Copies of this chain bind each other. A is one copy, B any other.
Amino acid sequence: MRLTVLGSGAGLPSKERKTQSIILDLIPEINAYFLIDVGEALQHQLLHTNIKSRKINHIFITHLHGDHIYGLPGFLSSRAFQGGENQPLHIYGPKGIEEWLEVTFQISGTHLNYPFYVHEIHDGMTLSVEGYQVDVRLLDHPIDSYLFVFKEPDKEGSLDADKLKEVGIRPGPIYAEIKESNTFEHDGITYNTSEFLGPVTPGKKIAIHGDTRLIKDSEYKRLIENSDVVIHEATFLDNESEKAHEFGHSEIHEVMELFKSLNIDTTIFTHISNRYDENFLNNIKQKLPEQTYIAEDFFSFQVK
C-alpha cells in the first residue's frame, strides 16, 4: 500500500503544485488504485507516473469545490482511450456530482465505453469497497466536505505448523482444509482452528480529509485515532488560525497539536497555498516532528 499526492496545491495551482489529487496504490493488495479527489490536470500528472488509468476503478470525492473535481471529466474521457474499455468505475461523492457529469458528457458529446456508477455519500455512512471498509464523515467547510477513513481487512494469522505437529498432524493438503473450517477432528478429538492460528495482522487505516476547519469532537477523534496515515489539509501554515477558520480551513500547528493525543503513526499535510514560497516551506519542514510531512506534487509514502 502506497500513498502518492499527485496534486498538493490549494485553490489556485502554482507552477510547482497542481490542485488536489491523491492516489492510494492497492496494486499489491487488490490490483487496483483508489483515487481521492481529481484536481484539474490529474490526467497530465498521471503521464509522469506508471499508474494505468484503467486500474483506477474507485474514485472518492471529498467535496465539490473546483480544485477537487475539475480534472474528473478529462480523466474519465481519456480513460476510455487508455485501455479502460469495459473496466467499470465507481465514483463516491456528494450530491450534485452525478448531475454535473451527466450535463458535462451530454454537452461535450462524450460516450464512455465502460460502465460507471455514481454513489452519493452522506455523513455517517460506511462503504464497503473491494473488501475495504470506508467510513464517511462530514467535516466543517462552506460546502459539504467529507473525511474518508479507509480500513484494510485484517489479515488472519497463519497456521502454526509446530502446534499442529504437537497434536500429531503433519504438513499436507489437510492444512488447507483446516484453515477453511472453524473446527476440525483428529484422532477423535475436536479442535478449534483458532487455537492453531498465529496472531491476526490488523489492516492498515488511512484517513484522508477534504478541506475543513479543525474538528475536535470525540466521534471524529475515534474515527481517526490509531491511523497508520492521516492526510490533512494545511491551507494555513503561519499561525493564522483565526483566518483559517474564517475561510473554512485549518492551520498546521493546531492540527499537529490535536493529533499528538491520537496515536497517529504518520501525518501528511497537503492543500498548500500558492502564497508560500519554497524558503518559507523549508523553514516549516525543518521544524516538523518525526513522521510528519508537507507534501509536494508526487510526494509518495509507503505504508508499512
| Partner-B contacts on A (CB < 8 A) | 11-15, 18-19, 40-41, 43-44, 47-48, 64-67, 69-71, 73-74, 77-78, 81-82, 96-97, 99-100, 103-104, 106-110, 142-143
Residues on B with C-beta less than 8 A from A66 are 73-74, 77, 104, 108, 110
**Which of A40, A64, A81, A103 has the most C-beta atoms of chain B within 10 angstroms of its own C-beta?**
A40
Beyond known contacts A40-B43, A64-B109, A70-B70: 5 more, CB 8 A cutoff: A12-B82, A13-B78, A15-B47, A65-B108, A65-B109
Give the Cβ gap from A114 to chain B, nearest Cβ, in Å.
16
Q: What are some 29 contacts across the A-B interface (CB < 8 A)? A: A11-B81, A12-B78, A12-B81, A13-B47, A13-B78, A15-B48, A19-B74, A40-B43, A40-B70, A64-B108, A64-B109, A65-B108, A65-B110, A66-B73, A66-B74, A66-B77, A66-B104, A66-B108, A69-B108, A70-B70, A70-B74, A97-B107, A99-B103, A99-B107, A100-B103, A100-B104, A100-B108, A109-B142, A109-B143
In the complex, residue of chain B having the shortest beta-carbon distance to the beta carbon of A75: B40
- Docked Cα-Cα span, A251 to B40, in Å, equals 31
Complex formed: what's the CA distance from A104 to B104 in Å? 8
Minimal Cβ-Cβ distance residue in B for A97 = B107
Min Cβ gap A56→B in Å is 16
Across the interface, which residues of B come within 8 angstroms of A106, CB to CB? 96
Q: Which residues of B contact A97 (CB under 8 A)?
A: 107
Q: Give CA–CA (A100, B104) in the complex, Å.
A: 6
- CA A108 to CA B97, docked complex, whole Å: 9
Residues of B within 8 A of A15 (CB): 47-48
Question: Chain A interface mostly helix, strand, loop or mixed?
Answer: loop
* Chain B residues, Cβ within 8 Å of A96: 106-107
Tell me, in angstroms, the Cα distance from A67 to B12 when the chains sit together: 21
Q: Which residues of chain B come closer than 8 Å to A18, judged between CB atoms?
A: 44
The smallest beta-carbon distance between A287 and chain B, in angstroms, is 29
Q: Indicate if the CB atoms of B48 and A44 lie closer than 8 Å.
A: no
Q: How far is the CA of A70 from the CA of B43 in the complex (A)?
A: 12
CB-contact partner of A100 in B14, B64, B65, B107, under 8 A: B107
User: Would you give the shortest CB distance from A104 to chain B, in whole angstroms?
Assistant: 6
Complex Cα–Cα for A51 and B240 (A): 32
Cβ contacts under 8 Å, A143 to chain B = 109
Which of B67, B71, B103, B142 interacts with A103 by CB under 8 Å? B103
A77 to B67 Cα, complex, angstroms: 9
A-B pairs with the 7 shortest C-beta distances? A96-B107, A41-B41, A40-B74, A109-B143, A70-B74, A103-B103, A66-B108
Complex CA gap A44/B43 in Å reads 13
Contacts of A19 in B (CB 8 A): 74
Query: Pick the contact of A71 from B40, B65, B109 — CB < 8 Å?
Result: B40
Considering the chains assembled together, what is the distance between the CA atoms of A66 and B77 in angstroms? 8
Docked complex Cα distance between A108 and B82 (Å): 28
